[in-house]
Amino acid sequence: MANPSYIYQVIRTTNRPKSKNLPPSWSSLAVAGFLASLDQTIVSTSMPTIASHFNALNSQSWIATSYLISSTCFQPVFGRFCDLWGCKLMLLVSIGLFEFGSVLTATAKNFVWLCCGRATAGTLIFVLIAKCVPRIPMVPLRERGRYTGVMFARIALASALGPVLGGVFTTSVSWRWAFYINLPIGGVATLVVLSLWTKIPDSKLASVKVSDIDFVGVIILTASVVALSLSLTWGGVTYPWKSPQVIALLSVGFALIPLFIVYEMKVPEVPIIPMSIFKYRNVVGAATNYFFIHWGLYGLSVYLPTFFQLVKGDDQLISGFELLAYVIPILPMSFTVGILISRTGWVRPYLWSGGAVNLIGTGCCILFTSKTSKAAEFVILIVTGMGIGFVFQANTICGQSQVKRSELASAVTMVTWSRTLGGLFAIPAEGAVIQNIVNRKVEGNSVTAPVSLFVHLTQGRPSFSPSISVYFSLAIHLPYSQRTATSTENHR
């Protein structure tokens, strides 16, 4: 994928950063990004309980999907917003909108209300997660592993704390505190940004107008993403796969993709996704790689705690601790690879080795059953997390190695956007597979047929028919196989 000799030559001939404002501005972005990353992981252990509270367990994937849909649709245009109103202002606006969405979610009275709150919180979340994109061109390629390591560290820290905090709140207090906790953290993030206000560079451009924002492209992209997400979520659960509703959604979603590409190439002066960056093999490879990596990452992070709760009989807190075996290794591996790349300039070995380790770990997850020992689960999850950590750094730098400096922000935005896109399709697709298999098993059993779905979760431990546990254990093996297939693709 990445030409090591080319990358090494570029790295060796690049000077170290000279800006004194770079470390503090990068720190402020890391703090703001931690807020967003924590919100993505804290719901993983509480999703079954939240959905059960609203009698919508068959639609639990929408807790994450609604968040990702708004994030995916607005990610490509956040750069235009920053050019128009300034990066610093957009950073504060995004924190405020995120806090408002968190309040809506925490006070939700029904499931639709809750999903609307999640969608609101995710609207400008990309400004918090990847606001560092405009800063990347200031960092020489040799140092990017070190600086992006800070950004990955905040993700790893949030990934470690999120499941545990979600389990603590859900078990001991209320699942609503998984969203109320964003308020004080958001306040701290705002204070940090304001304290470093003069040191954070702004990128406001006087030549940019509101008419420069490609709203038509956003509408086409949103319609396609929503149609495909609804079809994957409803297929076989709400409506049969052969129903007119599902077929129409699939047709519209796929038909809008070529329309979007042609429109972006021909009409807007400043497209939300510049098609010119796809001429670089490394950008295409890195985006594809990230899509499949995050298909497995999101799928495992969302449905593994559900497996622990429904099949192993663990409560939300214990399932949160068990997930740490997967997310904690990402931090040291990400830092290690960042240092190695900074010193050697090599990328390809870490892509290959990380992909191989991730493939082995993901494949071994297929062996999980109700009788699998905790030790075996932890070893498999640690191996999988190590592979993810290796690939993260190498893949990000690989996507930057060929493009021109003027195209760097667009390339990094595209690569980062593919991560969210992978999660957006993984969560409803795997949820539909699990629900279809479980529902089919339940309906074929005279004992469990009266059950509306497959489980009812109380505030603490799950309580359900033992047959349902067996069905869910069988159902979750197919998504494990899908993740193994996607891991094989990103290893190629």
- 31-76 pLDDT, tens per residue? 666 777 788 788 888 888 888 888 887 778 888 888 888 888 887 7
Q: Are residue 363 and residue 432 in the same domain, yes or no?
A: yes
Q: Is residue 342 part of a domain?
A: yes
Q: Are residue 319 and residue 406 in the same domain, yes or no?
A: yes
Task: Enter the pTM of the model.
Answer: 0.75
pLDDT of residue 224: 92
pLDDT of residue 474: 62
Residue pair 380/361 in contact by the 8 Å Cβ criterion:
yes
pLDDT of residue 71: 82
**Containing structural domain, residue 239:** 215-267
* Nearest Cα residue to 286 out of 148, 412, 151: 412
* Nearest Cα residue to 43 out of 153, 155, 175: 175
* CATH number for 28: 1.20.1250.20
Alpha helices in 312-347 (DSSP H): 316-327, 330-344
Q: What is the dihedral of CA 217, 219, 220, 224, to 10 degrees?
A: 140
Q: Are residue 155 and residue 245 in the same domain, yes or no?
A: no
Q: Is residue 402 part of a domain?
A: yes
* Nearest Cα residue to 339 out of 133, 140, 142, 152: 142
191-195, 220-224, 386-390: which range is least confident on average? Answer: 191-195
Q: Are residue 230 and residue 343 in the same domain, yes or no?
A: no
pLDDT of residue 462: 44
Q: Are residue 281 and residue 428 in the same domain, yes or no?
A: yes
The sign of the torsion formed by the CA atoms of 148, 153, 159, 161 equals negative
Q: Are residue 185 and residue 318 in the same domain, yes or no?
A: no
- DSSP code, position 16: P
CA separation for the pair 108, 24 (Å, rounded): 37
Calculate mean pLDDT across residues 288-295. 86
CA angle 367-437-450, nearest 5°?
125
Q: Are residue 281 and residue 417 in the same domain, yes or no?
A: yes
CA separation for the pair 313, 304 (Å, rounded): 13
Q: Is residue 490 part of a domain?
A: no
Q: Show which of 190, 207, 224 is a domain's final residue.
A: 207
Q: Is residue 480 part of a domain?
A: no
Q: Are residue 252 and residue 188 in the same domain, yes or no?
A: no
Q: Show which of 248, 267, 286 is a domain's final residue.
A: 267
Q: Are residue 113 and residue 237 in the same domain, yes or no?
A: no
pLDDT of residue 148: 59
Residue 256 has pLDDT above 80, yes or no: yes
Q: Is residue 454 part of a domain?
A: no
Q: Are residue 126 and residue 110 in the same domain, yes or no?
A: yes
Q: Are residue 295 and residue 243 in the same domain, yes or no?
A: no
Q: Is residue 17 part of a domain?
A: no
Tally of domains in the chain? 3
Q: Is residue 153 part of a domain?
A: yes
Q: Are residue 404 and residue 306 in the same domain, yes or no?
A: yes
Q: Is residue 471 part of a domain?
A: no
Contacts of range 27-30, beta carbons closer than 8 Å, 24 or more positions apart: 27/150, 27/192, 27/196, 28/192, 28/193, 28/196, 28/199, 28/200, 29/91, 29/131, 29/132, 29/135, 29/151, 30/132, 30/150, 30/151, 30/153, 30/154
